[in-house]
Amino acid sequence: MAAIKVAAQTVAYVGFVLGIWLVATDAQCVEVQYNPRVEVGASYDDNANLSGVSADEVKTGGEDIDARLEIHWIEPTSDWRLMPVVDGANYPGHTDLDSNGELLYFYGEEHGPRYEAGIYSYASSQSLLRNYLPTAVLGAGLGQTEPGTTLGVLSATRQDLEYVNPSWSLQLTPRRKLELNASFTDATYNRQIEGGYTNYTDATGSAALVLDATQTGAVTLRALGEQFKPEVGAETNVYGFETEWDGHFSATKLYYLRLGVERSDFSAISTTLPNAPDSTTVSGGLGTHWTYQVTELFADLTRNVAPTAQGYVVKQTQLRLRLSHRVTERLAAFVGARGIIQDPFRDVIATQRYAFVTGGFEWRVLRQCSVVGAYDLTGAKYVGPSALSNSVHISFIYEPNRLAEGPAITVGY
């Protein structure tokens, strides 16, 4: 695993440097876009620490900031994006809830007559406090799960995470295509708590054959494997097979249906935590993404084996919903939701349940400036009683290079 880790880190860092080098050396012969974005906001939360005990709930206001710069490098056969991000949240009078994060994203793809190659990677360092919890932001496309998601009790523990995901596809015949995918996640924590947070690595790989069955649909047959290795907990090897139907009524009307089987083999690392027997799990997914002229709909339900910072893989069920609608030329409304259930194999750790619901608006005051208002409802259940919080948030967004005909909603929500 050490060799895999070094190789993955090398690929990630080379990708970041390559993106910078491409921008610096080819700026005169290709199109390069620089898209800065700054969001400054204020909020009020009736349970900012997400406590399950009413006497311990912290009712407070806070301020937050998110600053990022996207560098977009474009060629006829390639597309590269590099984006550093810094964010933070401050709660006056409750400094123990303050958080900050630094992230660096890199994305690249190359197209040839018969092949497509891509890479997506990021590195992050952030506190596992309220600002870190999953929201309705779509960090991954249909049928894809986001790596590194850590639920559990909020704490000032800091997570450093590196992720790299290369992919490659080859058109074998006009109706057959071979797809290869791999990913590697390395997560470390400045405080390791047995049964809470522990360092881990997670490596995955898959090979798939895609068959165009109709003009609007394709069947995918996929074999997959995964190795999860925590410092405390249970090392797990996962292998399986799945079949998937991908439908595309048009470039903006997509759906899929997936069904598979995954086998998980466990080997105990820690003698103080219980082990789980080998297990077979049914996996799957169902989702759709429709984009109309003034409305966008995204709905996705997935179930799969997923790693956690508690030292064990879990059976994770996740629902993501997103709906946005342009009311007028300057006003758009949105609603979004995410629900996550993480069931352990046997009872080696507690079941985790998490839900997030949001609704709000974005008003474009000027082409470069907009105001966003939102109401969020967050619920969680891990160890101890259930926790629930209500919050309202308003923010100001400045994007100097925002296109007049750009999307109505620019906030991830």
CATH no. for residue 374? 2.40.160
Residue 404 lies in a domain: no
- Cα–Cα distance for residue pair 307/305, rounded to 1 Å: 7
Residue 173 lies in a domain: yes
- pLDDT tens sequence for the chain (413 residues): 443 444 444 444 545 555 554 444 444 557 899 999 999 999 999 999 999 898 999 999 999 999 999 999 988 889 999 999 999 999 998 999 999 999 999 999 999 999 999 999 999 999 888 888 888 888 788 888 877 677 777 888 899 999 999 999 999 999 999 999 999 999 999 887 665 788 999 999 999 999 999 988 999 999 999 999 998 888 999 999 999 999 988 878 999 999 999 999 988 765 555 566 788 999 999 999 999 888 999 999 999 999 988 888 899 999 999 999 999 989 999 999 999 999 988 777 888 999 999 999 999 999 899 999 999 999 999 888 899 999 999 999 999 998 877 777 777 76
Q: Evaluate whether 32 touches 23 at the Cβ level (below 8 Å).
A: yes
Q: Which domain holds residue 162?
A: 2-398
Residue 405 lies in a domain: no
Residue 274 lies in a domain: yes
Which of 224, 15, 14, 5 is CA-nearest to residue 118?
15
Residue 137 vs residues 42, 140, 142, 336, 406: alpha-carbon distances, Å: 19, 9, 13, 8, 18
Residue 403 lies in a domain: no
The count of domains in the chain is 1
Residue 408 lies in a domain: no
pTM passes above 0.75 = yes
Residue 406 lies in a domain: no
- Cα–Cα distance for residue pair 195/199, rounded to 1 Å: 12
Residue 411 lies in a domain: no
Residue 228 vs residues 122, 191, 238: alpha-carbon distances, Å: 19, 20, 8
Per the structure block, which two tokens stand in for 380? 């969680």
